[in-house]
Amino acid sequence: MDSQSWEQIKLKYRLGQFLLGKVEYHAPFGVFVNIGEKDVKGLIKIPDFLDNGEMSEEMYPEIGSAIGAIVVGYNEGSREVYLSAKPSVLHEILVPLRSRPVLV
């Protein structure tokens, strides 16, 4: 993939954007997600699954299952779109609040 094509991918999958993909395979460090691009994979790293607690491989979503996630970054070298499936991140994007109360 040339750099121009990679820049097009980054424009298509913007930071903070919600997307749906399909779990393609598991790795010890996270889950790869098919996001519908030939040469680009989504990756949800272990720390990007849970807000609290420990994530283990046994907790990974099943291969072939649909998964929703938020774009949080890019790996220029391996042409991956980094994703987060943390409940707090998904909630903030999917349920935007007009204002947050000030805690005193």
Task: Print burial letters for 29-49: b (CB count within 10 Å at least 16), e (below 16).
Answer: ebbbbebebeebbbbbbbebb
Give the pLDDT confidence score for residue 93 in this predicted structure. 78
The rounded percent of the chain whose pLDDT value lies above 70 is 90
Averaged pLDDT, 16-43: 94
Domain 3-94 listed as CATH 2.40.10.10: no
Domain residue spans of the chain: 3-94
For 94, the token pair is 């999917």
Averaged pLDDT, 89-94: 81
Give the pLDDT confidence score for residue 19 in this predicted structure. 94
- Under the banding of pLDDT at 50, 70 and 90, the label for residue 37 is very high
Residue identified by tokens 């649909």 is: 66
- Under the banding of pLDDT at 50, 70 and 90, the label for residue 89 is confident
